[in-house]
Amino acid sequence: MALRVIQWATGGVGKAAIEGIVAHPELELVGCWVHSTDKAGRDVGEICGLDPLGVTATCDVDALVEMAADCVLYSPIMADPALVARLLAAGKNVVTPLNWFYPGKRNVSSLERACEAGSSTLHGTGIHPGGITERFPLMISALSSAITHVRAEEFSDIRTYNAPNVVSDIMLFGKTPQETAASPMVHFLGQGFQQSMDMVAAELGFAVDPKMLSTHEFAVATAPIESPIGVIAPGLVAAQRFTWQHTVRGEPVITVRVNWFMGEECLEPAWNFGPQGERFEVEVSGDPSSHVSFHGWHPQSVAAGLLRNPGIVATANHCVSAIPYVCRAAPGIKTYLDLPLIAGRAAPALSR
């Protein structure tokens, strides 16, 4: 019997997740929540540019909470913990790229009670935060002893991220330096990254200082830059760099960094991606040290990325691949450390 899955939201991650669910031999898409009334009532395949899937999108939260389903892949722009608790209490496992990667000492008692009430499981995963900031560093760390530092870093051209409202109104690209300095992204992203960093620190045994360090740097355009949010005029923010660090007695031992640029031209400071171009990196300093670069999760061009961004697809696939394992897990909030090795599945034409 296929596991019945509800997809929650059809943004970039949501659309890619639907593709992944449809392709997965153990999963069946049975429901889909959409925010926009323009999408409600339409076939989900039509919304995602696929053939008709026989599943109708809806804005009716109550109907989906009551629907018979094994799992919800929950990927709206912002998480609503009360709604997640409601889904869990209704007996639905939840996989999400938004939060709960490693709650640790955070207050998640309401979610734990919901898992107990519904005999359900909650799992947070993704790519960054997620695989790049926890799974791969921990996997690679097994090859080293006497580890002194772990780094996870992203280098991305943000022009390929097809969410102009998020890029402009939340990330605050194209704003003045004073406006961008007040960006909520340091706190918003930091919540997820800190959980991944806490997981790595706990598993490796770092006695980290109580306070995580964070910095927010930006570069401005020196000439007009074409972007999906319009032309970024000289003097306005066209690149941002966020850094979060765990320290031991003031010395960094875990660093997570995001480099988001509107291309590499006409920036002050003159930041660039370096000779390797767009990528994700994981570095473990120890005996011996390891340095791994991940390519293939960035589109070949800005135009291609606006149609289908491989990094978004990878984030969605990491969630989709986790669903069978989460559905088999014991009730509760389960992190990467609590689950067995999560793997993808062969293409349908090549599978048993």
Contacts of 204 (CB under 8 A, 6+ apart): 138, 141, 147, 150
pLDDT, position 147:
98
pLDDT, position 184:
81
Mean pLDDT of the chain: 95
Cis peptide before 129 (omega within 30 of 0): yes
pLDDT, position 268:
98
pLDDT, position 46:
96
pLDDT, position 35:
94
Residues 167, 225 contacting (CB under 8 angstroms) = no
Residue 303 pLDDT greater than 80, yes or no? yes
Q: Higher-confidence residue: 18 or 166? A: 18
Residues 100, 122 contacting (CB under 8 angstroms) = yes
pLDDT, position 163:
85
Q: How many helices (H) and strands (E) does the chain have?
A: 11, 13
pLDDT digits (tens, 9 = 90+) for 132-154: 999 999 999 999 999 999 999 99
pLDDT, position 182:
86
pLDDT, position 138:
97
Residues 101, 124 contacting (CB under 8 angstroms) = yes
Instruction: State the pLDDT confidence band at 1, using cuts at 50, 70 and 90.
Output: confident
Quote the percentage of the chain above a pLDDT of 90: 89
* Euclidean distance between CA atoms 279 and 219, whole angstroms: 20
pLDDT digits (tens, 9 = 90+) for 71-85: 999 999 889 999 999
Alpha helix (H) residue ranges in the chain: 12-23, 44-47, 61-66, 81-89, 109-118, 136-141, 164-165, 177-181, 185-204, 302-307, 310-328
pLDDT, position 311:
95
pLDDT, position 2:
97
pLDDT, position 102:
96
Mean pLDDT (whole number) for 246-263: 97
Q: Which of 261, 269, 255 is nearest to 156 (CA)?
A: 261
**Going from the N-terminus, what domains does the chain have, and what CATH number goes with each?**
3-127+313-350 (3.40.50.720), 131-296 (no CATH)
pLDDT digits (tens, 9 = 90+) for 21-61: 999 999 999 999 999 999 999 999 999 999 999 999 999 99
**Sheet containing strand 93-96, strands side by side:** 27-33, 3-8, 71-74, 93-96, 121-124, 332-333
Mean pLDDT (whole number) for 56-68: 97
Least confident of 110-124, 172-186, 198-212: 172-186
pLDDT, position 132:
96
Quote the percentage of the chain above a pLDDT of 70: 100
Residue 110 pLDDT greater than 80, yes or no? yes
Mean pLDDT (whole number) for 228-235: 95
Mean pLDDT (whole number) for 176-188: 87
* Euclidean distance between CA atoms 209 and 227, whole angstroms: 40
Cis peptide before 269 (omega within 30 of 0): yes
Instruction: State the pLDDT confidence band at 104, using cuts at 50, 70 and 90.
Output: confident
pLDDT, position 111:
98
pLDDT, position 187:
82
pLDDT, position 190:
85
Residue 352 pLDDT greater than 80, yes or no? no
